[in-house]
Chains A and B, each alone.
Chain A
């Protein structure tokens, strides 16, 4: 039996690390003893280590749903509206706990080495601790509003960490962009919550009339209650207590929030820019955990989404389109982190697609495997840039000789991403593809086409990264450049060129992460199911996430492997000769230009929508209104006072008797009005 205190501790440990660092170490200890900054890292890492151990323990001991009746605390009570907070611990939560604490722990270890010369070492670790606790709070939240609070807190930490090197204008701009675009989705989230709250009385009355099994005091904002309600939706629908579309707006609103956080089209543009942050931040927040929050949100409230066919179709189509759309941009980027960023967007598209076609367990499975291999790839990219002094792949090449460990682990991550048998990514992606193949109708056709096209593109860009980075000859500048290394501590770490393997603390997380990148797929390995090997209980992972078992599909597996091989081969032919790399962008065709300009989406958002439409049109009208109507009213008020005052000022003559006359006449007037006129 898991005690509540320990579940809360998972959340409070990183939070207290954040508080200790930012309230004690940074203001008081560090100015006097500069070496105390090392303690910041140690505190965060040890807090996370304990959280991780607790999460593993929860993962292994959790039973199905015996924790749903845990204490719920009242936060705000307004009449019948009761806002509660509490912990929701179920198999879905336990999977996310493992992902968040596990990846976070390894990333912090890596950061301890990666950031060791940075001035903001303590600040970095305090923000990372804040992020981790916010993410854990989000995962553990039982109430939607409680979840929203942590959702925003996660967005804030993301902002702080993208703009960690705030003195770089590009980092500050990227942080602002990420914050604003995700906020756009969060407006949808908020609208969904408010709409749900406005429908609360309807739901409460429906429950009062028909009853709901296992729920004593129904609270429409409580996730457990809401899911139970949505689970028995047909019953309430048949009784005529709710309308068919009651959850449609809720689902679409929440999905808008999810799309913002998980960088789904059309709110995806912030994620590639978010790569301005330190690389471990990209690995933790913008690849493994925070961007998965959107997928988690939909999976968490999946029964609610399931009641609305419209929103399910929207989710499936957005996911499918994003998968192929982002992958296509990933094929032409020259910045290794940007390629990985687009790859992340694309893989998130797969997860959202899986949610849209009704298999949240599969989506969570892909989230689980993706978290490990994508964190591995990002940390590998950080290790590469540590040596090559740049993120630009045109200035890399041949690194496999000098960085054998990074090369090997990066290779494992890449193969897992491409979906090569029998690595983790193969199993999770296959389940998505197999489910997609079973879909019927127009939506099904589109989804399948996009999903398989994205497989091809994924193989292409991943091979391209491997070849450009690790194979061929080194194309970058040789030796360190003194004028650059002078401000190294202040600037990004990617300045010096010293072709050597990264230090032990950076390589260790790579090695550890490559283990789940290979084996995580076996947790839900369908081979167990098909051939009954029975080493690991069949579909243990799906069991953890309540059913939705997907059979291993030979068709999907063979098609995707074939497509992957075509992608790899095509990429190899195109990039194996290094002359191709040196070619200028202008020499490439129209398709290349469109892709490398990100389909002109940034141009559309920034120049057309923001500047053209918003600044020039809407703001001009608003300026006019402000200038002449609002300001006009103010001026009028001032003018009125100014012109009346010479008359009114005579009234105040300081004579007590004049005032007394006024008072007496006033009272007389009131008495007459009341008694004589009868007002």
Chain B
């Protein structure tokens, strides 16, 4: 039996894995991939919460009075996240390309201009 907790643990593990990747990888593309993993961790959490938790119950109302689409909002939110992530990747890879053209390198440890 797979319970709500299992989903959340999976979600947290994927998210933590993503963070680890972002913080440790030196290649910018790899960092991007890690960010995508973080998004996916969040998405798992969103859909599972949407499935297991009924907003109507949280508001102490009877289930019958709640419109069915309200209960689906978490699922739709996950779709939005996927869409926005795709757009963000397109933009982000463009930036990585520009950095590479200027510096001939995509190593994150070389990018220290925040120091100045």
B 89-116 to A, binary, CB cutoff 8 A, 1 in contact else 0: 0000000000000000000110111111
A657 contacts partner chain B, Cβ-Cβ < 8 Å: yes
Closest to A667 in B: B19
- Give Cα A652–Cα B114 distance, bound, in whole angstroms: 9
- What are 19 inter-chain pairs, A to B, with CB distance below 8 A? A654-B111, A654-B113, A654-B114, A654-B115, A654-B116, A655-B109, A655-B112, A655-B114, A656-B108, A656-B111, A656-B114, A657-B22, A657-B108, A657-B109, A659-B114, A660-B22, A660-B23, A664-B19, A664-B23
B51 contacts partner chain A, Cβ-Cβ < 8 Å: no
Residues from chain B with Cβ under 8 Å of A654 in the complex: 111-116
B54 contacts partner chain A, Cβ-Cβ < 8 Å: no
Interface residues on chain A, size class: 10 to 19
Name A631-679 residues within 8 Å CB distance of B. Answer: 652-657, 659-661, 664
Decide if the interface of chain A is mainly helix, strand, loop or mixed.
helix
Closest to B22 in A: A660
- Give Cα A655–Cα B111 distance, bound, in whole angstroms: 7
- Give Cα A657–Cα B111 distance, bound, in whole angstroms: 10
Besides A657-B22, A660-B22, A660-B23, 20 other A-B contacts (C-beta < 8 A): A652-B115, A653-B112, A653-B115, A654-B111, A654-B112, A654-B113, A654-B114, A654-B115, A654-B116, A655-B108, A655-B109, A656-B108, A656-B111, A656-B114, A657-B23, A657-B108, A657-B109, A659-B114, A661-B23, A664-B19
Name A388-415 residues within 8 Å CB distance of B. Answer: none
Residues from chain A with Cβ under 8 Å of B19 in the complex: 664
Q: Cβ of B112 and Cβ of A657 under 8 Å apart? A: no
Closest to B24 in A: A657
- Give Cα A659–Cα B111 distance, bound, in whole angstroms: 13
Q: Tell me, rounded to whole Å, the shortest Cβ–Cβ distance linking B45 to chain A.
A: 15
- Give Cα A659–Cα B22 distance, bound, in whole angstroms: 11
Q: Tell me, rounded to whole Å, the shortest Cβ–Cβ distance linking A48 to chain B.
A: 69
B 4-23 to A, binary, CB cutoff 8 A, 1 in contact else 0: 00000000000000010011
Residues from chain B with Cβ under 8 Å of A655 in the complex: 108-109, 112, 114
Task: List residues of chain B with CB under 8 Å of any chain A CB.
Answer: 19, 22-24, 108-109, 111-116
Residues from chain B with Cβ under 8 Å of A661 in the complex: 23
Q: Tell me, rounded to whole Å, the shortest Cβ–Cβ distance linking B14 to chain A.
A: 15
- Give Cα A660–Cα B35 distance, bound, in whole angstroms: 13
Q: Tell me, rounded to whole Å, the shortest Cβ–Cβ distance linking A283 to chain B.
A: 72
Q: Tell me, rounded to whole Å, the shortest Cβ–Cβ distance linking A20 to chain B.
A: 59
Closest to B20 in A: A664
Nearest 7 CB-CB pairings of A with B: A654-B115, A654-B112, A654-B114, A657-B23, A661-B23, A660-B23, A664-B19
Q: Tell me, rounded to whole Å, the shortest Cβ–Cβ distance linking A135 to chain B.
A: 64
Closest to B116 in A: A654
- Give Cα A654–Cα B113 distance, bound, in whole angstroms: 6
- Give Cα A652–Cα B115 distance, bound, in whole angstroms: 6
Q: Tell me, rounded to whole Å, the shortest Cβ–Cβ distance linking B96 to chain A.
A: 13
Closest to B112 in A: A654
Name A95-148 residues within 8 Å CB distance of B. Answer: none
Q: Tell me, rounded to whole Å, the shortest Cβ–Cβ distance linking A645 to chain B.
A: 15
Q: Tell me, rounded to whole Å, the shortest Cβ–Cβ distance linking B82 to chain A.
A: 23
- Give Cα A652–Cα B116 distance, bound, in whole angstroms: 10
Q: Tell me, rounded to whole Å, the shortest Cβ–Cβ distance linking B20 to chain A.
A: 9
Residues from chain A with Cβ under 8 Å of B115 in the complex: 652-654
- Give Cα A654–Cα B108 distance, bound, in whole angstroms: 10
- Give Cα A627–Cα B111 distance, bound, in whole angstroms: 47
Residues from chain B with Cβ under 8 Å of A657 in the complex: 22-24, 108-109
Q: Tell me, rounded to whole Å, the shortest Cβ–Cβ distance linking A58 to chain B.
A: 72
Residues from chain B with Cβ under 8 Å of A652 in the complex: 115
- Give Cα A657–Cα B22 distance, bound, in whole angstroms: 7
Q: Tell me, rounded to whole Å, the shortest Cβ–Cβ distance linking A649 to chain B.
A: 10
Residues from chain A with Cβ under 8 Å of B23 in the complex: 657, 660-661, 664
Residues from chain A with Cβ under 8 Å of B113 in the complex: 654
A 226-259 to B, binary, CB cutoff 8 A, 1 in contact else 0: 0000000000000000000000000000000000
- Give Cα A105–Cα B40 distance, bound, in whole angstroms: 89
Residues from chain B with Cβ under 8 Å of A664 in the complex: 19, 23
Q: Tell me, rounded to whole Å, the shortest Cβ–Cβ distance linking A617 to chain B.
A: 54
- Give Cα A138–Cα B109 distance, bound, in whole angstroms: 74
Closest to A658 in B: B23
Closest to B114 in A: A654
Residues from chain B with Cβ under 8 Å of A656 in the complex: 108, 111, 114
Residues from chain A with Cβ under 8 Å of B22 in the complex: 657, 660
Residues from chain B with Cβ under 8 Å of A659 in the complex: 114
Residues from chain A with Cβ under 8 Å of B24 in the complex: 657
Q: Tell me, rounded to whole Å, the shortest Cβ–Cβ distance linking B72 to chain A.
A: 29
Closest to B19 in A: A664
Closest to B26 in A: A657
Q: Tell me, rounded to whole Å, the shortest Cβ–Cβ distance linking A662 to chain B.
A: 10
Q: Tell me, rounded to whole Å, the shortest Cβ–Cβ distance linking A98 to chain B.
A: 76
Q: Tell me, rounded to whole Å, the shortest Cβ–Cβ distance linking A632 to chain B.
A: 34
- Give Cα A604–Cα B108 distance, bound, in whole angstroms: 77
